[in-house]
Amino acid sequence: MEYLLLIASVLIAYLVVILFKPIIDKKQKLLLAFSGSFLLSITVLEMIPEVFSNNSKTIGLLVMVGILLQISLEFLSRGAEHGHMHIDKEKKTFSLALIIGLTIHALLEGIPVHHHDHLVYGIMVHKLPIAIILTSFTIKSGFSKGYTFIFLLLFSLMTPLGSYLGEHVSFFRDYLAEISAVVIGIFLHISTTILFESSAGHKFNLAKIITIILGISVAYLIL
Protein backbone atom coordinates (compact mmCIF):
# COMPACT_ATOMS: atom_id res chain seq x y z
CA MET A 1 0.00 0.00 0.00
CA GLU A 2 2.84 2.41 0.82
CA TYR A 3 4.42 1.73 -2.57
CA LEU A 4 1.12 2.45 -4.32
CA LEU A 5 0.55 5.66 -2.37
CA LEU A 6 4.01 6.98 -3.26
CA ILE A 7 3.53 6.20 -6.95
CA ALA A 8 -0.04 7.50 -7.01
CA SER A 9 0.91 10.91 -5.57
CA VAL A 10 3.13 11.61 -8.59
CA LEU A 11 0.74 10.26 -11.19
CA ILE A 12 -2.18 12.16 -9.66
CA ALA A 13 -0.10 15.32 -10.01
CA TYR A 14 0.28 14.57 -13.73
CA LEU A 15 -3.49 14.21 -14.14
CA VAL A 16 -4.17 17.37 -12.13
CA VAL A 17 -1.95 19.41 -14.45
CA ILE A 18 -3.57 17.95 -17.57
CA LEU A 19 -7.09 18.60 -16.28
CA PHE A 20 -6.75 21.79 -14.21
CA LYS A 21 -3.59 23.49 -15.45
CA PRO A 22 -4.71 27.19 -15.34
CA ILE A 23 -6.01 26.84 -11.77
CA ILE A 24 -2.95 24.93 -10.57
CA ASP A 25 -0.53 27.51 -12.00
CA LYS A 26 -2.04 30.17 -9.74
CA LYS A 27 -1.92 27.98 -6.63
CA GLN A 28 1.56 26.47 -6.92
CA LYS A 29 3.17 28.67 -4.28
CA LEU A 30 0.48 27.88 -1.72
CA LEU A 31 0.71 24.16 -2.51
CA LEU A 32 4.46 24.36 -1.96
CA ALA A 33 4.01 26.25 1.32
CA PHE A 34 1.58 23.60 2.59
CA SER A 35 3.85 20.74 1.55
CA GLY A 36 6.89 22.40 3.11
CA SER A 37 5.20 22.99 6.45
CA PHE A 38 3.65 19.51 6.47
CA LEU A 39 6.95 17.78 5.68
CA LEU A 40 8.80 19.90 8.23
CA SER A 41 6.21 19.02 10.89
CA ILE A 42 6.44 15.28 10.21
CA THR A 43 10.23 15.54 10.40
CA VAL A 44 10.29 17.53 13.65
CA LEU A 45 7.37 15.86 15.45
CA GLU A 46 8.01 12.23 14.49
CA MET A 47 11.37 11.51 12.87
CA ILE A 48 13.62 13.63 15.08
CA PRO A 49 12.29 12.33 18.44
CA GLU A 50 12.59 8.72 17.24
CA VAL A 51 16.07 9.04 15.74
CA PHE A 52 17.48 11.13 18.62
CA SER A 53 16.16 8.73 21.27
CA ASN A 54 19.69 7.41 21.79
CA ASN A 55 21.00 10.97 22.29
CA SER A 56 24.02 10.38 20.08
CA LYS A 57 26.19 13.26 18.87
CA THR A 58 26.87 11.18 15.75
CA ILE A 59 23.19 11.39 14.80
CA GLY A 60 23.33 15.18 14.98
CA LEU A 61 26.41 15.20 12.78
CA LEU A 62 24.66 13.00 10.22
CA VAL A 63 21.74 15.42 10.12
CA MET A 64 24.23 18.10 9.08
CA VAL A 65 25.65 15.67 6.51
CA GLY A 66 22.13 15.31 5.11
CA ILE A 67 21.79 19.08 4.78
CA LEU A 68 25.14 19.31 2.98
CA LEU A 69 24.24 16.32 0.79
CA GLN A 70 21.00 17.95 -0.33
CA ILE A 71 22.81 21.20 -1.11
CA SER A 72 25.25 19.16 -3.22
CA LEU A 73 22.43 17.32 -5.00
CA GLU A 74 20.89 20.65 -5.94
CA PHE A 75 23.97 21.43 -8.02
CA LEU A 76 22.79 18.49 -10.14
CA SER A 77 19.02 18.92 -9.97
CA ARG A 78 19.08 22.74 -9.79
CA GLY A 79 16.50 22.71 -7.04
CA ALA A 80 13.83 20.57 -8.71
CA GLU A 81 13.17 18.91 -5.33
CA HIS A 82 11.68 22.13 -4.00
CA GLY A 83 9.98 23.48 -7.10
CA HIS A 84 12.67 24.76 -9.44
CA MET A 85 12.89 23.32 -12.93
CA HIS A 86 15.29 24.13 -15.76
CA ILE A 87 15.14 22.33 -19.12
CA ASP A 88 17.07 22.97 -22.32
CA LYS A 89 14.19 23.96 -24.63
CA GLU A 90 16.29 23.72 -27.80
CA LYS A 91 17.56 20.20 -27.17
CA LYS A 92 14.36 19.12 -25.42
CA THR A 93 16.23 16.76 -23.14
CA PHE A 94 16.54 16.27 -19.43
CA SER A 95 20.14 16.67 -18.34
CA LEU A 96 21.80 13.61 -16.89
CA ALA A 97 22.72 15.68 -13.82
CA LEU A 98 19.03 16.49 -13.20
CA ILE A 99 18.05 12.84 -13.44
CA ILE A 100 20.90 11.73 -11.14
CA GLY A 101 20.08 14.41 -8.56
CA LEU A 102 16.38 13.59 -8.47
CA THR A 103 17.04 9.85 -8.40
CA ILE A 104 19.44 9.98 -5.44
CA HIS A 105 17.08 12.28 -3.53
CA ALA A 106 14.02 10.11 -4.19
CA LEU A 107 15.83 6.88 -3.28
CA LEU A 108 17.17 8.23 0.00
CA GLU A 109 13.86 9.65 1.18
CA GLY A 110 12.22 6.27 0.64
CA ILE A 111 14.62 4.21 2.79
CA PRO A 112 13.13 5.09 6.24
CA VAL A 113 9.46 4.96 5.12
CA HIS A 114 8.67 1.55 6.61
CA HIS A 115 10.16 2.50 9.97
CA HIS A 116 8.36 5.81 10.63
CA ASP A 117 4.60 5.42 10.74
CA HIS A 118 3.54 8.68 9.09
CA LEU A 119 6.54 9.48 6.91
CA VAL A 120 4.80 8.13 3.81
CA TYR A 121 2.19 10.90 4.14
CA GLY A 122 4.86 13.56 4.49
CA ILE A 123 6.58 12.35 1.32
CA MET A 124 3.27 12.12 -0.55
CA VAL A 125 2.35 15.71 0.32
CA HIS A 126 5.88 16.80 -0.56
CA LYS A 127 5.87 15.02 -3.92
CA LEU A 128 2.45 16.19 -5.09
CA PRO A 129 3.25 19.89 -5.71
CA ILE A 130 6.79 19.06 -6.86
CA ALA A 131 5.41 16.61 -9.43
CA ILE A 132 2.84 19.21 -10.50
CA ILE A 133 5.64 21.71 -11.13
CA LEU A 134 7.77 19.11 -12.91
CA THR A 135 4.83 18.22 -15.16
CA SER A 136 3.95 21.85 -15.90
CA PHE A 137 7.50 22.86 -16.77
CA THR A 138 8.06 19.75 -18.86
CA ILE A 139 4.95 20.32 -20.97
CA LYS A 140 5.65 24.07 -21.26
CA SER A 141 9.12 23.20 -22.56
CA GLY A 142 7.63 21.38 -25.53
CA PHE A 143 7.71 17.76 -24.40
CA SER A 144 4.74 15.61 -25.37
CA LYS A 145 2.29 14.44 -22.72
CA GLY A 146 3.40 10.87 -23.33
CA TYR A 147 7.07 11.68 -22.82
CA THR A 148 6.17 13.65 -19.71
CA PHE A 149 4.14 10.74 -18.35
CA ILE A 150 7.05 8.31 -18.81
CA PHE A 151 9.41 10.71 -17.02
CA LEU A 152 6.93 11.13 -14.13
CA LEU A 153 6.35 7.36 -13.95
CA LEU A 154 10.07 6.65 -13.64
CA PHE A 155 10.40 9.42 -11.06
CA SER A 156 7.47 7.97 -9.08
CA LEU A 157 9.18 4.56 -8.84
CA MET A 158 12.37 5.81 -7.18
CA THR A 159 11.01 6.41 -3.68
CA PRO A 160 9.20 3.03 -3.51
CA LEU A 161 12.46 1.44 -4.66
CA GLY A 162 14.26 3.14 -1.78
CA SER A 163 11.53 1.97 0.58
CA TYR A 164 11.93 -1.60 -0.69
CA LEU A 165 15.70 -1.46 -0.16
CA GLY A 166 15.21 -0.06 3.35
CA GLU A 167 12.93 -2.95 4.24
CA HIS A 168 14.71 -5.88 2.60
CA VAL A 169 18.44 -5.07 2.44
CA SER A 170 20.24 -5.80 5.71
CA PHE A 171 22.74 -2.92 5.34
CA PHE A 172 19.94 -0.33 5.35
CA ARG A 173 18.17 -2.03 8.28
CA ASP A 174 21.39 -2.20 10.31
CA TYR A 175 22.14 1.50 9.81
CA LEU A 176 18.55 2.75 9.84
CA ALA A 177 19.10 5.40 12.53
CA GLU A 178 22.12 6.83 10.71
CA ILE A 179 20.38 6.87 7.32
CA SER A 180 17.25 8.38 8.88
CA ALA A 181 19.41 11.15 10.33
CA VAL A 182 20.77 11.95 6.87
CA VAL A 183 17.21 11.98 5.48
CA ILE A 184 16.14 14.31 8.30
CA GLY A 185 18.84 16.73 7.17
CA ILE A 186 17.58 16.48 3.60
CA PHE A 187 14.00 17.16 4.69
CA LEU A 188 15.01 20.07 6.92
CA HIS A 189 16.83 21.75 4.07
CA ILE A 190 14.08 21.17 1.50
CA SER A 191 11.14 22.14 3.71
CA THR A 192 12.72 25.33 5.03
CA THR A 193 13.84 26.31 1.52
CA ILE A 194 10.28 25.85 0.27
CA LEU A 195 8.90 28.03 3.06
CA PHE A 196 11.39 30.82 2.45
CA GLU A 197 11.05 30.76 -1.34
CA SER A 198 7.26 30.44 -1.57
CA SER A 199 6.68 34.21 -1.34
CA ALA A 200 8.47 36.85 -3.41
CA GLY A 201 10.97 38.94 -1.47
CA HIS A 202 10.12 37.11 1.77
CA LYS A 203 7.23 39.56 2.27
CA PHE A 204 4.43 38.94 4.71
CA ASN A 205 1.66 37.04 3.02
CA LEU A 206 -1.49 36.21 4.99
CA ALA A 207 -2.50 33.39 2.66
CA LYS A 208 0.95 31.84 3.03
CA ILE A 209 0.88 32.12 6.83
CA ILE A 210 -2.56 30.48 7.00
CA THR A 211 -1.41 27.74 4.63
CA ILE A 212 1.68 27.03 6.75
CA ILE A 213 -0.40 26.88 9.94
CA LEU A 214 -2.80 24.51 8.17
CA GLY A 215 0.06 22.25 7.11
CA ILE A 216 1.43 22.12 10.66
CA SER A 217 -2.03 21.49 12.12
CA VAL A 218 -2.85 18.65 9.72
CA ALA A 219 0.49 16.97 10.42
CA TYR A 220 -0.02 17.29 14.18
CA LEU A 221 -3.53 15.83 14.01
CA ILE A 222 -2.52 12.70 12.07
CA LEU A 223 0.40 11.86 14.36
pLDDT at 107: 93
pLDDT at 101: 84
What 50-54 contacts at long range (C-beta under 8 Å, 24+ apart), as own/partner pairs, is 50/116, 50/180, 51/177, 51/180, 51/181, 51/184, 54/177
pLDDT at 93: 55
pLDDT at 66: 95
pLDDT at 162: 94
Q: How far apart are CA 176 and CA 182, in angstroms?
A: 10
Residues with pLDDT less than 50, the chain? none
